[in-house]
Chains A and B, each alone.
Chain A
Amino acid sequence: MGLKAYIHVSNLKTEIEWLIQKNNLNLCLECGKCSAVCPMLNFYGAYDYGRSPRGVVERLTFDPENIDDEALWYCLTCNECTFYCPSGINFQDFMIELRSLLLRNGYKKYAHFCSVCGAYLMPKKEFEYMQKDPNGKIIGELLSICPRCKKNNYSETLRRIAPVHKTLKKL
């Protein structure tokens, strides 16, 4: 019986190549529709090719080594580009999966983490953008803790301030 055991030699480059293939980045015709619908102009005030979906796709298909790059952490994964891409490229999934991969491999400096448990929340750039809101300080506090930690925090607070009703029946 030959059940072959695959010794999976994984390195970052092959993993990225796999993500590229899985999400159809190869099919990019470089038409620029994704960059044209990307809201980054509204969010970041300026258009930078390097941060645009097309720019990221091109850079990674031609130069997959260069991944310690802040430009990979601007995307808001809003899905506009994926929705309109005529070649069927799933850029949203790609970005999410790529960042996951980068974080696992130690590329953390452009990411924003939960101040309690250290889980990944969002790109630093997205966090900075959100803080531009007039209620920035409040939003900053809200966005510095991951949802689970927030929930735990709340339960903790509740336990401290709310008395336990002895009359609560056990269901």
Chain B
Amino acid sequence: MSIRVGVFICHCGTNIGGIVNVQEAVEYARSLPNVIFAESNLYTCSENGLSSIRNKIKEYDLNRVVVASCTPRTHETLFRKNCELAGLNKYLFEFVNIREQCSWVHMKRHDDATLKAEDLVRMGVAKASLLTPQEDLSTDVIRACLVIGGGISGLSASMALANQGYHVELVEKKDKLGGLLRDVNMVFPTNESSENLLGPLIESVLEHKNIDVHLESELIDVKGFIGNFTATLRTDSKNEEIKTGTIIVSTGAAELKPEKMFGYGRFDNVMTQLDFEKKYKSDYHGLNRVVMINCVGARIEERTYCGRFCCITGMKNAVLLKQANPQADINILQRDIMAFGMVFEDYYRNALGAGIRFMRYNVDNLPEIMGSGNNAEKVRVYNELIGREVEIDVDLVILTTPLVPGKDNEKLSKMMRIPVGNDGFFLEAHQKLRPIEFPSDGIFVAGCARYPTEISECIAQGYAAAAKAAIPMAQGRVITDALISEVDPLRCSSCGRCINICPFGAIDWADRKAPSGETRKVALVNPAECKGCGLCVSSCLSGAIQLNGFNDEEILAMVNSVIESSEATF
């Protein structure tokens, strides 16, 4: 059967069209071997562009499609599905990136960019001509979810899923549910006790018929892939295996204890916000001169992020103190007040109205705590906005510190192959549009495990993770990409390199009977776990592994098409 390639080159508005001469590239594409049809679109990803491709596939009986536009990261799925809609196997589609890999990096060299775009299209056509149809795989999804961490986020996620009829296995390392919120005295903005908030929720979780709670349990190992995870728990020195279809990571975070900063550890009356809430609960007797220092250990070189809700926590405690002792002198030393949004800004205004003073200090000129013995007595600070040094007598100094990543994050990261960012918190798939998903399918994150988050947001994230987890469970099955690697057992020398190097643990040993009757072990790729990264392919010394859609023949064809061309200049 003859190969009939259609080439569609995108202008992408002016992103490509402003630099590359798209019409010239289209003319060039028409001259390439196997190319039956070529056209340009203003925005290939728009409805018009997509329907044009579908129409041309039918009209010209195309059996290979090449789109030269932006990055496959955003639109590959879209274009593949589009080919499918036109009756073409979606893996007979090749994506050529002439934006990030051409127009955007050669913005001032229009002629060269055009030549390069033409080279890239030629390579794409060469590869497309060798593509073969592939089929996706489908695996069943177990209708159960493993929720790791029984804090407010985990509890919310569990209830949301259980109420929809899914089974939940909730694993909590401590002997009680509730997480960090247990240490908080009163919650903002309702000023009710955290017990009021947690009590009913914990009760509902413990009573729910769809939730199995494992207290004092630790996660030892996780194997598997979306739809089919096997987790090993250790409770009371006994191991237990549970099988679920999805996982939600809601392991929370811890409050930073600022050792050696501002007299913490040296003075008894210097403590963090949580220390304060635990020690005094609601009895503020005698606390008449209080200084709070914000941004302790946050927004500094060593830890650049902002704690997000610690400004509000400080204000909450300041207002509670002022309400209990109206004559009290309460000062908050700050470096920007993060009272964003509607409720927080109003609360800030109320705090000011109540007579709490806010003094701005500079990170290069930190306040000093002075005292005798183990009692802090004075705070000296340079008030940046009035340009004067101020000395305040104190009964109590409260340091407002951010949350820091849980100690187990690194361990969990390796166990489930979920990434951890530079700040130590779990890193989501995309910061804007996929904030609670991981790159590995079926695993989601909620709450402070991802980033310091206030209570209502934690609850929202718990629900959101539940929604994401519910999708594959509702559908009952997942479709996995066909572009995965395959081992040719005849060539496999059983060295095991690929098994070690696979970041997803998708390759394992399998028995193979040789014609002689002996069994030997060869590597076998689990198609459901393989992400098609190609590390195994390059690690194989025997050349036994090939990646569908990127096999040696296809890649070499691309290279040859560049070298052999008379346009190539070195």
Contacts and interface: CB of A to CB of B under 8 A. Distances in A.
A160 B47 CA distance: 96
Given A62-B383, A62-B386, A30 B360 contact: yes
Interface string A39-60: 0000000000100000100110
A27 B353 contact: yes
A144 interface: no
B279 to A, nearest CB: 29
A59 B386 contact: yes
A153 interface: no
A79 interface: no
B385 A58 contact: yes
Given A26-B352, A27-B352, A30-B385, A62 B357 contact: yes
A23 B355 CA distance: 13
Nearest to A25: B352
B108 interface: no
A87 B360 CA distance: 18
B383 A26 contact: no
Interface of B is mostly: mixed
Contacts of A21: 355
Contacts of B353: 24, 26-27
B349 interface: yes
Contacts of A87: 349, 352
B390 interface: yes
Nearest to B390: A62
A61 B356 CA distance: 11
Contacts of B360: 30
Contacts, number: 24
A90 to B, nearest CB: 14
B331 to A, nearest CB: 9
Interface in B334-360: 349, 352-353, 355, 357, 360
Chain A interface residue count: which class? Answer: 10 to 19
Nearest to B350: A27
Interface in B5-49: none
A26 B354 CA distance: 8
A26 B355 contact: yes
Interface of A is mostly: helix
Contacts of A27: 349, 352-353
A24 to B, nearest CB: 8
Contact of A58 (B349, B352, B386): B386
Residue among A27, A28, A87 facing the most chain B CB atoms (10 A cut-off):
A27
A51 to B, nearest CB: 14
B311 to A, nearest CB: 14
Contacts of A61: 357
A61 B191 CA distance: 28
Contacts of A26: 352-353, 355
Contacts of B386: 55, 58-59, 62
A49 B386 CA distance: 9
A59 B385 CA distance: 11
Interface in A16-44: 21, 24, 26-30
Contacts of B349: 27, 87
A70 B396 CA distance: 36
A87 B357 CA distance: 15
A28 B383 CA distance: 15
Contacts of A62: 357, 383, 386, 390
A49 B384 CA distance: 13
Nearest to A17: B355
A10 B387 CA distance: 32
B383 to A, nearest CB: 7
Contacts of A58: 385-386
A57 B349 CA distance: 16
Interface string B102-145: 00000000000000000000000000000000000000000000
Nearest to A59: B386
Interface of B: 349, 352-353, 355, 357, 360, 383, 385-387, 390
11 contacts: A21-B355, A26-B353, A26-B355, A27-B353, A30-B385, A55-B386, A58-B385, A62-B383, A62-B386, A87-B349, A87-B352
Interface of A: 21, 24, 26-30, 49, 55, 58-59, 61-62, 87
Given A26-B352, A62-B390, A87-B352, 6 more contacts: A24-B353, A26-B353, A29-B352, A49-B387, A58-B385, A87-B349
Which 7 pairs between the two chains have the least Cβ-Cβ distance? A58-B386, A27-B352, A30-B385, A26-B352, A26-B353, A26-B355, A27-B353
